[in-house]
């Protein structure tokens, strides 16, 4: 480079900053700058890194009304709660049903202490298949989406621990099992902790955020502190809602929904759970959430 002041070639490069390459002239002692076109700089061929598909599943206006239920924990589901979930879906003529994680319990695959008298994984999957078949019969035209939660993840973790050599075979993973029948029932699977997005609402199961949200006083507020956007989750088996207004006037609301499982399981008979689910409507370009509770077998 030639110094633009004295035309001397006695210049030294002093590095890059803010898209400019800086030079110092040893002849006249002045600094000069040159705009750097980074796209023209020679770069060594860098191999692709490994990554998973974390793109959100986007639901459009044609998918409303939506019905979202979480934490049935089949075969430890509450029969009446699941029935009310179905009946409400038929009442609002739901076009999309979202199983928002932990619809299977995968009890015998847990890393925790297990009761050998409880149902086998084969029996559990058979029960789940029969329930999913009822949903397809009751909602023959609906889009049904099964987002895997932390209990479904037990299946993959079990394979990783006990059969790592077989883990790469897609046909043995939970979503591909013919015994579960998701493909035959035309039920979509959302794995890898991907987000489901309906307009500005972000739907997760609740286990996607690691740490910091264990048993929060309000699951919805805990979700807000993590997401900072309107979002919905299951996982905590509680109905809650939290709203805050941003400095620009945007209203951000987060929800947690109740569960559809037995409220007094053997491992935690005393808890603060409640039955419930959510429905999402579209009104004048806005999504509207109705966070339903079930108390004494009544839908509120």
Tens-digit pLDDT profile for residues 136-181? 999 999 999 999 999 999 999 999 999 999 999 999 999 999 999 9
Residue linked to tokens 């008298």 = 117
Mind listing the pLDDT tens digit for each residue in 231-251? 999 999 999 999 999 999 999
Residues 107-133 as b/e (b if ≥16 CB within 10 A, e otherwise) read bbbeeeeeeeeebebeebbbbbbebbe
pLDDT, residue 6, reads: 76
46 φ/ψ angles, rounded to the nearest 5 degrees: -100, 125
Output the average pLDDT for the chain. Answer: 90
Residues 232-249 as b/e (b if ≥16 CB within 10 A, e otherwise) read bbbbbbbbbbbeeeeeee
Is the pLDDT score of 5 beyond 60? Answer: yes
pLDDT, residue 33, reads: 66
pLDDT, residue 267, reads: 87
Domain ranges in the chain are 1-44, 57-299
Fold of 57-299: Purple Acid Phosphatase; chain A, domain 2 (3.60.21)
pLDDT above 90: percentage of residues in the chain:
74
pLDDT, residue 41, reads: 56
pTM (two decimals) = 0.84
Mind listing the pLDDT tens digit for each residue in 46-100? 787 888 889 999 999 999 999 999 999 999 999 999 999 999 999 999 999 999 9
């Amino acid at each position: 480079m030639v110094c633009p002041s004295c035309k001397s070639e006695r210049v030294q490069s002093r590095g890059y900053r803010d898209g400019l390459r800086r030079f110092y002239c040893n002849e006249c002692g002045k600094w000069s700058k040159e705009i750097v076109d980074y796209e023209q700089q020679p770069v060594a061929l860098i191999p692709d890194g490994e990554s998973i598909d974390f793109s959100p599943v986007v639901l459009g206006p044609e998918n409303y009304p939506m019905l979202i239920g979480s934490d049935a924990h089949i075969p430890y589901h509450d029969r009446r709660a699941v029935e009310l979930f179905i009946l409400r879906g038929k009442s609002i003529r739901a076009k999309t049903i979202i199983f928002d994680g932990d619809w299977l319990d995968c009890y015998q695959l847990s890393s925790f202490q297990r009761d050998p008298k409880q149902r086998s994984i084969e029996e559990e999957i058979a029960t789940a298949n029969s329930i999913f078949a009822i949903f397809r019969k009751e909602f023959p035209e609906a889009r049904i989406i099964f987002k895997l939660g932390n209990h479904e993840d037990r299946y993959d973790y079990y394979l990783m621990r006990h059969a790592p050599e077989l883990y790469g075979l897609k046909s043995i993973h939970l979503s591909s099992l013919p015994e579960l029948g998701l493909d035959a029932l035309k039920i979509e699977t959302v794995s890898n902790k991907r987000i489901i997005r309906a307009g500005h609402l972000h739907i997760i199961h609740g286990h996607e955020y690691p740490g910091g949200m264990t048993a929060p006083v309000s699951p919805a507020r805990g979700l807000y502190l993590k997401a900072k956007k309107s979002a919905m989750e299951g996982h905590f088996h509680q109905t809650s809602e939290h709203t805050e207004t941003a400095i620009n006037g945007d209203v951000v609301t987060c929800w947690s929904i109740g569960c559809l499982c037995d409220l007094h399981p053997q491992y935690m008979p005393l808890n603060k759970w409640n039955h419930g689910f959510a429905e999402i409507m579209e009104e004048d370009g806005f999504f509207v959430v109705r966070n339903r509770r079930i108390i004494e077998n009544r839908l509120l």
